[in-house]
Structure 1
Amino acid sequence: MRKHDRRIPLPKSTHKRHSGTTTMTPTRASLILLALAAPLLAQDTRTVIEPTLPPICTTLTAQLTSPISPENEAKLDTARIQKALDNCTRGHAVALRADATHNAFLSGPLELRANVTLLVEKDAILFASRDPKLYETAPGSCGLVNQERNGCKPLLSAKHISRAAVMGEGAIDGRGGATLLNRSVTWWDLAEQARPSGRQQVPRILVADYADDFTLYRITLKNSPNFHVVYNHGDGFTVWGLRIDTPKRGARNTDGVDPGSSKNITITHSFIRTGDDNVAIKGGDPISHMTVAHNHFYYGHGMSIGSETNGGVNNILVTDLSLDGPDNGLRIKSNGSRGGLVRDVTYDDVCIRNSPNPITLDSSYTANGPLQGSSPPTFRDITLRNVRVSGGGKITFNGYDHTHRVAATLNNVLTTDSTPYTYLLQHADVTLNSSNLTPPTGTDSTTQGTPTPGTPASCSEKFVPFPEK
């Protein structure tokens, strides 16, 4: 599923866009550009190749039809899917397949296996059960609001294994907005009830922990009760051609992809719209060497780092990204209770439109933890290059204090319309090169360079419709 080459990047001309999809030259169809003009270390150190589908060890045929009717809610496929995963030959896949009259599988928690792929084929849908009891980590722990952690198992888990994968042209639906069995609430209702100080005990679709060389390929994830994908403590995570499709409102805490405490991560050729962060890089423990390339994000809370940065975040490259209508565009967020050093982050070739907060580097993030504390954040060596913004909004460079600052260099960062923009600068050092932003004098802040008109490249080919199925 992956190839190593830490030295030789491909030229940008090996890929091109066409009508919202990506086509590549036949001789290099599986290779993604990782270096561009950025330093080699500011990215995934692997040369990532497009995954291929492994041979099938077992094919399971759907016995249910979408949508799942109430009388079929007890007809679980959990046991037969788990048995197939347990017995699958390494390097092979368990295929979930639709037939002429049935397209649905219904399951509780499943455990993925080392070097085995769960393949959800075209037209097949794996639905998560609505029964909280199936996800309990302890009796009565799932489907409520309290202050505890980890009351629910995820639908799919990959723990202490390597080379596992989830692939296919089908979909996995977490059913976050569906009423729970024998209850009058949905998973998302519990998330709303948890405001402002509680914690909803609800499942996630996929959690991979200590799972090196994990792959997500061309799968659609929908309606997760909580985060869609969490990847922690791993080396080597490839997300290629992922679609995440979850409502904008009423689906609280439904982050798209959340990598944390890991290294060598690539998210590419993916389309994400959801009720929270499209991607959130979590730095509770150190995370480094990550590439986010050739993606389209829609509504959501943007391309985020944080709010946990106390373990350190470094060597991140975000390139060839469109952000169309998100609540936030490019965002680094933290506060004094969970802050640390964020450094060597490069954003290159990014188009943002119709976001109230297109660029936000903020050390006063209020949603998690007190603003002041013993772990203050510092953001430095942050480079924004070839970033185009339209639709107005607020641009923020907000450091923590005189010692813990935000330092950013803006190269060819341009607003492309006459819509008014507002600015916040505090404990910040901003350098403008060929950029037309006009930040005012800020509190304990410096601005070097003079705003210039610039000539922005077109964003017309980047803003493409979400690929409906």
Structure 2
Amino acid sequence: MKMRSTRELAVLGLSVLTLAACGDGNGLGSNTPGGNNGTGGGNTGTPTTWTPGRYAADPNLPDSPALPLDTQVCKVLEASDTLVKNADGSLPASADPTPATYGGATTKLNNPDQARIQAALDACGAAVDAEVGSQIAQADQQAAAKQQAANQPLVNVGGASGETLSNPAYKGSHFAVRLVKSSSGRGNAFLSGPLVLPSGVTLWVDDGVTLFASRDVVVYDKAPQDRPNPITCGAAVNNPAGLPAPAGTVNAGQATLAGVSGMQNCYPLIRGNHTVNAAIMGTGSIDARGYMPLISSSSLYPTIRWATGATEKFTYSGNNITGVVTPKFSCTNTIAAYRAGTLAPEGTACDVVTAMGTATLTTPAVTYVVNRQATSVPSGVTVNSPGCASGTAGCARWVPASWWDVAYHGNKDIGGGPYSFQGNPGMVWLQQSKNLTLYQITLRNSTFFTVEADGVDGLTAWGIKIITPLLPDAANLASVGLNNDGFDGVNGSYSHLYTGAQISASSTGVKNTDGIDPSVANGPEHASLGTGSKTTSGSPIYFDGYVKNVAIVYNYLSPSDDNVAFKGGLPDPRVAGAKGAQNGSPAANMLWGIDGNRDVSSNRTYGITVAHNHDYNGHGLSIGSPTNAGVRNIHFYDNYFDSIYDGTNAATDMGVVGLRIKSGQARGGDVSNIYYDGACMRGIGSFLVFDMYYTDPAADPISYTGLGWQPPSFHDINVSNVRMMNIPSNKAAGKAGAGSLTFRGLHADTSFANTQSVIQLSMNNVVADNDVALSISNLSKGVVNIGSTDGSSQSKAANATLNLGANVSLLGQSFAHGTGGILTNTSSGAGKYTAPTNTLNLTVNGSDDAGSATDTNPAATIVSQNPKLSLCDNPASWPTFPNVK
């Protein structure tokens, strides 16, 4: 039987990685089922002593993960020969065509693989539990007994640590389910609805294989015992505090959505709860197909549709929408009728989708109605889009929304505030886990957050690729958009949102598709391990709900939202006494929900590391927006940011961000001891963003969080060895391709938290190249009801202290300043800051003078003396996003 050596990632320079070939040339072993059924062999046995190693290419990191051995596979599943990818990696529309009638989708076509994949995962989970479940429970009980005996009232009981449970003694001898190509034909794809990843099990997607998500919206809707409210998956609603749900819904009269993410109403594509040693691996890919129109296997299920060629027009009267000329949306049923098992009559007011608007609605505006007709739009509509007239057969009609349509409407059209609700499934969502591993896998076209890991001790994301949106060529066969007659749900275009906006690699129309989000859990739990979709282990395990021992390294990240986001709330796993002054107890008692210094495993230097990543599109390596549970001791180093910002074209700039901390007055907490060391950034819209007004107080009400006012505090933030650059094509064109620096702390508000909080930030070896036009900005979103403390009338306050250490040059060709003035440069050469009339509480200690006054290019001087910054000039430091077909 062919064996395989560990596949490692080698480092080129400081950060560029290559994959070392081994074994049969691709490091994957045989694809033949006979060689991988796991019926023989087994592992080599558990050593009597075991010590985790150290990854040689970066001694700060733990050992690299490895693909399973052939002998460790529980089950090999072959792709059906009816599912063959296009050359560009997409799934042909003919694989699961839009049914002729609504509700006509069938399991055979739209969800053929869910049952057999889940059966294999369940069987593997049961086998692992039978082999090592009792050992895990015993280790956890022993650890918990010691923690309880220590009687530390401010610390949650966590049981056995992730490091302890990573010992081979707690892993099954057969633990992987492997998805492979067909051995008898061309099949190389799987099509499945939601899957449960059991504890101890690895889902292995083989090279050249893609697991595609079913687009049957029905399979993602949660069972009654799992959903937080009766709203269906796929809904887009707005329910402000005090506003009852629309009349006719099951929860009519109740404001049930406050503080609830729409993702909680859907089963994610892959989920797991209370797991130990679970993993998703392989050089294949998983594609959530967020751009595809949704279909339904139930004629009763309420879905959103939009009218081709129609432009929605309405006016505001107070806070209500009136004068609707052309409703853009309809629904196929109401939530209330669906839950009752009936069909609502044509013309019934929709509750699955609310009226569009940028203002909070104080009363429901009935704008959208049930319309199940396939070839008509509302009466009186004239369709005049290119190539499509009202008399064109099959042209003026309702079109099913995609997940990205639902997300955009729920996130933007109906207000975008705290009560906007986009009922989209996440892609991978693991809750309360120890040792969750993502290795080499490609995750594409997510429908919501790509990877959400709540309350995890031991999260490793190593060498993975995340890209959303990735629209393959086959998605635009007709070379036309959704707003005209080229789309028919079978072989038309899926490259536009319903708004008509073209979806591109830098699209802001694809909402909330974060890359990797390590987040605190709701609280500590003592629960049985999830050993399958319907089974649990016999003995409960302790989970403390904190985030610790995280390594996000050597990845390629290009989402349409945060590349990485550490979320320290809104749920807070800490006991009341550990919340410090926020909960009335002494500040000295305060603990942090995300803490890189808590229980650090012996096989690494730092408890939380984000390093050697290549970032393309996205909103940055982030902390927040919720930080109420506290975030500290995170090390970001040697990361690359490469995008297309040229400072001139808002249509393509798309808000690309570098390093970011964000929070607000009702979700804030202590963020401290954050270390950024080594970053090359080029073509980035916002290089550094440290902002306590991510949402203004009116848009972040205490009724939403339920926590009261909790102002954030950002201090001991250390930024070193960062270079801000223009991209070569912009340099050649003479474009000033650079962005802004945002430092915005809290003023003492007159109507809200009434607290001033000043950001404290230190910078060393931070440079902007000479061809960069840089500005310090305060964002464009206004902050309401500010009582200024510096005599200004500005509503966009800085409130930051910048301590400039050695070798800081933020000049470039020019140093711009916003309205009212932030910093100005009036000298030549290296230049120094001069005090403007209105500093908006921005204090700069030190100078950006990098050398003598005669040095006309201080940035180049700094770079020449700094190996990390010089590495940014190495062409090998800027790889294109890898082929993910």
Q: TM-score, normalised by structure 2?
A: 0.48
Partner of 1:399: 745
Partners of 2:287 and 2:11 lie apart in 1 by 31
Q: Quick check: 2:513–2:559 contact (8 Å CA) kept in 1? A: yes
Q: What is the aligned counterpart of 2:432 among 205, 210, 213? A: 210
Q: Which amino acid aligns with 2:743?
A: F
CA positional deviation for 1:416: 1.3
Q: Which amino acid aligns with 1:436?
A: S
Using a 3 Å threshold, how does the CA distance of structure 1 residues 156 and 23 change in structure 2: closer, same or farther? closer
Partners of 1:216 and 1:279 lie apart in 2 by 14
Q: Quick check: 1:304–1:331 contact (8 Å CA) kept in 2? A: yes
Alignment of 1:63-78 (within 5 A): 63=80, 64-66=83-85, 67-68=91-92, 69-70=95-96, 73-78=109-114
Q: Which amino acid aligns with 2:879?
A: V
CA positional deviation for 1:138: 4.1
Partners of 1:203 and 1:34 lie apart in 2 by 38
CA positional deviation for 1:70: 2.5
Partner of 1:317: 635
Using a 3 Å threshold, how does the CA distance of structure 1 residues 368 and 212 change in structure 2: closer, same or farther? farther
Partner of 1:281: 566
Q: Quick check: 1:335–1:370 contact (8 Å CA) kept in 2? A: no
CA positional deviation for 1:344: 0.6
Alignment of 1:359-438 (within 5 A): 359-366=688-695, 370=699, 374-390=709-725, 391-401=737-747, 403-424=756-777, 426-433=798-805, 434-437=807-810
Q: Quick check: 2:628–2:667 contact (8 Å CA) kept in 1? A: yes
Q: Which amino acid aligns with 1:124?
A: V
Using a 3 Å threshold, how does the CA distance of structure 1 residues 94 and 282 change in structure 2: closer, same or farther? same
Alignment of 1:22-33 (within 5 A): 22=18, 30-31=55-56, 33=58
Q: Quick check: 1:20–1:465 contact (8 Å CA) kept in 2? A: no
Unpaired runs of 5+ in structure 2? 1-9, 23-52, 86-90, 98-107, 129-171, 225-230, 240-256, 297-302, 304-399, 470-505, 521-546, 573-592, 597-607, 644-654, 703-708, 726-736, 749-755, 778-796, 812-821, 824-834, 851-857, 864-868
Q: What is the aligned counterpart of 1:340 among 648, 661, 669? A: 669
The yes-or-no answer on 1:243 pairing with 2:357 is no
Please provide the CA RMSD for this pair.
Answer: 2.5
Alignment of 1:135-150 (within 5 A): 135-138=220-223, 141-146=232-237, 147=239, 148=257, 149=260, 150=264
CA positional deviation for 1:395: 0.7
Alignment of 1:245-284 (within 5 A): 245-247=467-469, 248-249=506-507, 250-261=509-520, 262-284=547-569
Q: Quick check: 1:364–1:371 contact (8 Å CA) kept in 2? A: no
Partners of 1:332 and 1:217 lie apart in 2 by 27
Partner of 1:11: none
Using a 3 Å threshold, how does the CA distance of structure 1 residues 358 and 372 change in structure 2: closer, same or farther? farther
Partners of 1:302 and 1:133 lie apart in 2 by 33
Alignment of 1:161-310 (within 5 A): 161-182=275-296, 184-194=400-410, 195=412, 196-197=416-417, 198-247=420-469, 248-249=506-507, 250-261=509-520, 262-284=547-569, 285=572, 286-289=593-596, 290-310=608-628
Q: Which amino acid aligns with 1:375?
A: Q
For residue 94 of structure 1, give the secondary structure of its aligned residue in structure 2: strand
Using a 3 Å threshold, how does the CA distance of structure 1 residues 426 and 371 change in structure 2: closer, same or farther? farther
Q: Which amino acid aligns with 1:142?
A: C
Question: Which has the greater radius of gyration?
Answer: 2
Q: Which amino acid aligns with 1:324?
A: D
CA positional deviation for 1:102: 0.3
CA deviation vs aligned residue, 1:406-432 (integer Å, no higher than 9, x gap): 111101000013322111472111111
The yes-or-no answer on 1:131 pairing with 2:207 is no
Partners of 1:282 and 1:76 lie apart in 2 by 36
CA positional deviation for 1:449: 1.3
Partners of 2:550 and 2:563 lie apart in 1 by 16
CA deviation vs aligned residue, 1:67-114 (integer Å, no higher than 9, x gap): 152256334211111111111143320000013410111111111111
Q: Quick check: 2:188–2:209 contact (8 Å CA) kept in 1? A: yes
Q: Quick check: 1:16–1:23 contact (8 Å CA) kept in 2? A: no
Q: Quick check: 2:435–2:457 contact (8 Å CA) kept in 1? A: yes
The yes-or-no answer on 1:86 pairing with 2:122 is yes
Partners of 2:719 and 2:559 lie apart in 1 by 25
Deviating more after overlay: 305-314 vs 245-254: 245-254
Q: Quick check: 2:113–2:191 contact (8 Å CA) kept in 1? A: yes
Partners of 2:57 and 2:451 lie apart in 1 by 22
CA deviation vs aligned residue, 1:275-327 (integer Å, no higher than 9, x gap): 11111111114112221111100011111111111111111111110011261
For residue 221 of structure 1, give the secondary structure of its aligned residue in structure 2: strand
Alignment of 1:99-138 (within 5 A): 99=182, 100-138=185-223
Q: Which amino acid aligns with 1:406?
A: I
Partners of 1:102 and 1:19 lie apart in 2 by 36
Q: Quick check: 2:15–2:613 contact (8 Å CA) kept in 1? A: no
Unpaired runs of 5+ in structure 1? 1-13, 36-45
Partners of 2:96 and 2:456 lie apart in 1 by 39
Q: Which amino acid aligns with 2:665?
A: G
Partners of 1:70 and 1:167 lie apart in 2 by 26
Q: Select the structure that is richer in strand.
A: 1
Partners of 1:421 and 1:192 lie apart in 2 by 31
Partner of 2:181: 98
CA positional deviation for 1:48: 4.3
CA deviation vs aligned residue, 1:32-82 (integer Å, no higher than 9, x gap): 6364xxxxxxxxxx7343334242111000012231522563342111111
Q: Which amino acid aligns with 2:724?
A: V
Partner of 1:42: none
Q: Which amino acid aligns with 1:464?
A: P
Deviating more after overlay: 74-83 vs 294-303: 74-83
Q: Quick check: 1:32–1:48 contact (8 Å CA) kept in 2? A: no
Partners of 1:276 and 1:370 lie apart in 2 by 20
Partners of 2:689 and 2:111 lie apart in 1 by 47
Q: What is the aligned counterpart of 2:847 among 431, 445, 450? A: 450
Using a 3 Å threshold, how does the CA distance of structure 1 residues 369 and 230 change in structure 2: closer, same or farther? farther
Partners of 2:663 and 2:214 lie apart in 1 by 35
CA positional deviation for 1:21: 2.6
The yes-or-no answer on 1:59 pairing with 2:76 is yes
Partner of 2:326: none
Partners of 1:18 and 1:427 lie apart in 2 by 35
Deviating more after overlay: 264-273 vs 148-157: 148-157
Structure 1: 4+ residue segments shifted above 4 A = 17-20, 28-32
Q: Quick check: 1:270–1:294 contact (8 Å CA) kept in 2? A: yes
Q: Quick check: 2:680–2:724 contact (8 Å CA) kept in 1? A: yes
Partners of 2:405 and 2:442 lie apart in 1 by 23
Using a 3 Å threshold, how does the CA distance of structure 1 residues 23 and 243 change in structure 2: closer, same or farther? closer
Partners of 1:168 and 1:96 lie apart in 2 by 9
Q: What is the aligned counterpart of 2:685 among 321, 339, 356? A: 356
For residue 192 of structure 1, give the secondary structure of its aligned residue in structure 2: helix
Q: Select the structure that is richer in helix.
A: 2
Partners of 1:141 and 1:381 lie apart in 2 by 44
Partners of 1:339 and 1:297 lie apart in 2 by 27
Number of residue pairs the alignment of both structures matches? 445
CA deviation vs aligned residue, 1:145-175 (integer Å, no higher than 9, x gap): 1254311011111110100000001000001
Q: Which amino acid aligns with 1:97?
A: V
Deviating more after overlay: 188-197 vs 363-372: 363-372
Partner of 1:39: none
Q: Quick check: 2:559–2:618 contact (8 Å CA) kept in 1? A: yes
Partners of 1:51 and 1:314 lie apart in 2 by 30
Identity rate of aligned residues, in percent? 37
Q: Quick check: 1:30–1:51 contact (8 Å CA) kept in 2? A: no
Q: Quick check: 2:664–2:696 contact (8 Å CA) kept in 1? A: no
